[in-house]
Structure 1
Amino acid sequence: MSTKIPNSPPADAARTSEDRSARLAVTVFPALVVLAALFAFLVPSAGQAIAPLISLFLGIIMFAMGLTLTIPDFTLVARRPLPILIGILAQFVIMPLVGLGIALLLQLPPELAVGVILVGCAPGGTSSNVIAYLSKADTALSVTMTSISTLLAPVFTPLLTLWLAGSYLPVAAGDMALSIVQIVLIPVVAGVVIRLLLSRLVDRVLPALPWVSVAGISVVVLAVVSGSTETIISAGALVLLAVVLHNAVGYLAGYWLARALKQGERAARTTSIEVGMQNSGLAATLAASAFSPAAALPGAVFSIWHNLSGALLAVYYRRSAERKAPATER
């Protein structure tokens, strides 16, 4: 979900309205995605009819993300480079390698293995910004990590997928990089530019942007699941196990890596959330276009699961933050 929520109270009514909308959207999002998946499973023809449009829907999601970004989101890189570097390295090292490890551990079939690895090679998920806010983590840091990993995705996602998944299926890294540029980089940059040029107009539509993302990802899940009904029947439990393990290891590894590198509690929670929550909608879209609907299934399941687990993690982190002394919340 392409939105951001500041750590401090919003300065204007538009931002306050966006905050409320984002919190509501992230609360109902898992239920809507589950309903979309169930509908696709029961009426697969509906999802198959819109499958050719999933790249368009993801592009709309990324454009909405761009509209929420401002220049201060990027200047944080210069002011706090170390925690951002830790988060980006963890994002593009831990999750891809964990994805490969899970594929080997569970002896996944080639299409599912590629799907799990591709989820790991994707940039951070935009709903992580809302989860970071709800967790009393560092939301500004979360937004910057998501933005930078998204901008780096055209380079790292195809290269990592080629390296780690090439033994399972042929990977057209160049075509994948071009797809990411078209459906991620260009829409995000366009959104940022429009925000700069038409900030007052964009402020009026900010409250609607979380719902644009909710609708877009629900449509992606609908399309992917509709083309994977046989795989769900035969390997659905295995895919769910792979996704749960992948997500949980990301949360834990992100947190403890940040703490091992002397980062504060809030930065560690932020890194945990950023590493564990992937842009699984992008992974599902790339897998469906570059491989098969079956390869896209792990991304679709991850879209459902990481929002459920993220909400639970937010409750745990928030309660933990309230129990600890203010001196530890740095």
Structure 2
Amino acid sequence: MEKVKGFADWLTKWFTAIVVAWAVFNYFVPATSVWAKSYTGYLLGIVLFGMGLTLSLDDFARILKQPLMVIVGTVAHFVIMPLVAVLLCWIFRLDGPLAVGVILVGCCPSGTSSNVMSYLSRGDVALDVSIGILSTLCAPFMIPLLMQWLASQYVTVPAQSLFINALKVVLFPIALGVVCHMVFGKKIEKVTVALPIVSQVAILLIIGVVVAANQPKLFSAATLMAIPVVMLHNLSGYALGFGFSKLMYKVYPKGFRYAQQKAITFEVGMQDSALGATLALTSFAATPLAAVPSTFFSVWHNISGSVLSSWWRNHDDKHAIAHDSANGEKGSLKADAEDHEAVA
């Protein structure tokens, strides 16, 4: 079991580099993954089933304990990222499948990587997880609604297909995982050790399918334009998510403190790009190019998230900012220590 956990930790640590290497390999040898194109829905279902296995009723109860912050964070995610996607498509004059792909990834729920980044930056992981759960549960309803509203100018949006596919690959696997957790209890812990490996292998296969399916067009001038769009989309999400949480601190300072601001920043800026790629390949099967922005996003947001979480941690240490400070006040860590000494 220790070897499995060790391999899972290694895979997580080097996942971004492995994704890049795997994508390059599939570009030159597309037959490696193209066979899995019809199974992408099942692959993502496995990932979300694994997510369900790690959830308990306490995770859902946590949403009810702090509903305002979780709902506000979820609403911010589904407002900021889709609208930024549309704005960037307009600025960069993207159209057709690429514009649809950028908007689709913008309409997706937050990615599970945000939980890791929030933890590394000393953010409120519990809030991060809660927003992630709620946004994922809302995805089958929000994605078709937002796509119909924002992307119908580019292509005919198959709203019914999006809804059914999202329902199949999101809600059903998560619900099944939660039920299994409830039935088998602690026995599930023996399985959950290997879940990161299973999930990451499934995501690698999905990325391989996207690269293989688009190999002839992947590095055309039009496709490469999606790279700066994806980067700006993600970075704008961080900036607007942080700005929004700072604004909410002025409205409700007890709830939107420094740790919560970090969590909302990552929850807004990081997307479930694997879901975006899967829905693009299933609901927009005639134009697989729509899955490319999700693949670019998958690589980029792991890089940017790692850099931001590392910078945030170093910034807090340098300025002695306590992780539980009200609004990131410099010297708050020293002030807390002095207060403890005074009490002692």
TM-score, length-scaled by structure 1: 0.91
Contact 2:123–2:323, Cα closer than 8 Å, also in 1:
no
1:325 equivalent to 2:314? Answer no
1:78 equivalent to 2:64? Answer yes
Residue of structure 2 in register with 1:175 after alignment = 161
1:248 equivalent to 2:245? Answer no
Match of 2:280 among 287, 298, 311: 287
Counterparts of 1:301-312 in structure 2, within 5 Å, are 301-312=296-307
Counterparts of 1:129-278 in structure 2, within 5 Å, are 129-234=115-220, 235-262=222-249, 263-278=256-271
Amino acid at match of 1:308: I
Counterparts in 2 of 1:159 and 1:287: CA distance versus 1, 3 Å: same
Further displaced range: 76-85 or 188-197: 76-85
Q: CA–CA distance in 2 between the matches of 1:254 and 1:218?
A: 28
How many angstroms does 1:208 deviate by?
1.1
Q: CA–CA distance in 2 between the matches of 1:29 and 1:141?
A: 25
Counterparts of 1:50-69 in structure 2, within 5 Å, are 50-69=36-55
Q: Deviations over 1:16-58 (max 9, x none)?
A: x97x776544321111211221111101122221111111100
Q: CA–CA distance in 1 between the matches of 2:35 and 2:45?
A: 18
The CA RMSD measured in Å over matched residues stands at: 1.8
How many angstroms does 1:145 deviate by?
0.8
Larger radius of gyration: 2
Q: Deviations over 1:99-152 (max 9, x none)?
A: 111111111131100000000000110121111111111111111111110000
TM-score, length-scaled by structure 2: 0.87
Counterparts of 1:92-131 in structure 2, within 5 Å, are 92-131=78-117
Q: Deviations over 1:56-104 (max 9, x none)?
A: 1000001011111122211122221222122101111000000111111
How many angstroms does 1:231 deviate by?
2.5
Q: CA–CA distance in 1 between the matches of 2:308 and 2:12?
A: 13
Residue of structure 2 in register with 1:3 after alignment = none
Contact 2:98–2:223, Cα closer than 8 Å, also in 1:
no
Residue of structure 2 in register with 1:32 after alignment = 18
Contact 1:33–1:217, Cα closer than 8 Å, also in 2:
no
Amino acid at match of 2:307: L
SS at match of 2:156: coil
How many angstroms does 1:237 deviate by?
2.7
Q: CA–CA distance in 1 between the matches of 2:126 and 2:9?
A: 16
Contact 2:109–2:139, Cα closer than 8 Å, also in 1:
yes
Q: Which runs of 5+ in 2 are unaligned?
A: 250-255, 327-344
SS at match of 1:232: coil
Contact 2:259–2:323, Cα closer than 8 Å, also in 1:
no
Q: Which runs of 4+ in 1 moved over 2 A?
A: 20-26, 320-330
Q: CA–CA distance in 2 between the matches of 1:145 and 1:23?
A: 24
Contact 2:258–2:323, Cα closer than 8 Å, also in 1:
no
Residue of structure 1 in register with 2:295 after alignment = 300
Counterparts in 2 of 1:141 and 1:22: CA distance versus 1, 3 Å: farther
Q: Which runs of 5+ in 1 are unaligned?
A: 1-12
Amino acid at match of 2:80: I
Q: Deviations over 1:133-183 (max 9, x none)?
A: 111111111111111100001110111011100110001111111101101
Contact 1:26–1:307, Cα closer than 8 Å, also in 2:
no
Percent same amino acid at aligned positions? Answer: 38
Counterparts in 2 of 1:125 and 1:63: CA distance versus 1, 3 Å: same
How many angstroms does 1:325 deviate by?
3.2
Further displaced range: 26-35 or 187-196: 26-35
How many angstroms does 1:319 deviate by?
1.7
How many angstroms does 1:311 deviate by?
1.0
Q: CA–CA distance in 2 between the matches of 1:313 and 1:73?
A: 26
